[in-house]
């Protein structure tokens, strides 16, 4: 894993690769490339690279104190099962900018076993959470 680089330099991100992956994921179907660019611009982003090729991505939305939302965590399919997602999450949770955050949130349909290794669990009071979904055309 010595040849793996995890960087928060947004200029290194392969936006088309990220967009192509996200639009085939269950959570971002239909997201436009402009929406991907805008979400990256307004988030802290991490890319995972091997030999200069991007193989993974994650972004965080936060106020740096109270809450952070981990989103769009991806590892390209051919690189899954090799520990890259764990390296990415370890790098994120060790980042000094996030040391004072009191609550992390994320949503997942199928990666519970990965995230529980990093301290995530069921929401203690789900009845307190609400959402507003806006359908735009």
- Is the whole-model pTM more than 0.85? yes
Question: How far, in Å, are 69, 74, 122, 126 from residue 26 at the CA level?
Answer: 18, 12, 20, 22
- Angstrom distances, CA of residue 84 to CA of 80, 95, 123, 137: 7, 17, 26, 36
Class of domain 4-120: alpha beta
Task: Give 47's strand partners.
Answer: 7, 57
Closest CA to 48 of 81, 3, 102, 16: 3
pLDDT confidence of residue 46: 98
pLDDT at 26: 87
Query: Mean pLDDT for each 10-residue chunk of the chain (137 residues)?
Result: 89 96 88 95 98 96 97 95 96 97 94 94 92 82
Q: What pLDDT, on the 0 to 100 scale, is given for residue 28?
A: 87
């Amino acid at each position: 894993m010595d040849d793996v680089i995890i960087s928060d330099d947004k200029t290194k991100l392969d936006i088309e690769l990220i967009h192509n992956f996200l639009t085939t994921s269950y959570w971002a179907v239909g997201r436009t490339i402009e929406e991907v660019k805008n979400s990256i611009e307004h988030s802290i982003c991490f890319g995972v690279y091997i030999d200069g090729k991007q193989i993974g991505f994650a972004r965080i939305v936060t106020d740096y104190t109270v809450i952070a939302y981990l989103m769009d965590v991806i590892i390209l399919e051919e690189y899954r099962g090799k520990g890259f997602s764990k390296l990415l999450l370890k790098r994120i949770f060790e980042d000094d900018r996030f040391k004072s955050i009191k609550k992390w949130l994320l949503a997942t349909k199928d990666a519970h076993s990965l995230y529980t290794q990093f301290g995530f669990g069921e929401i203690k009071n789900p009845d307190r959470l609400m959402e507003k979904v806006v359908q735009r055309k």
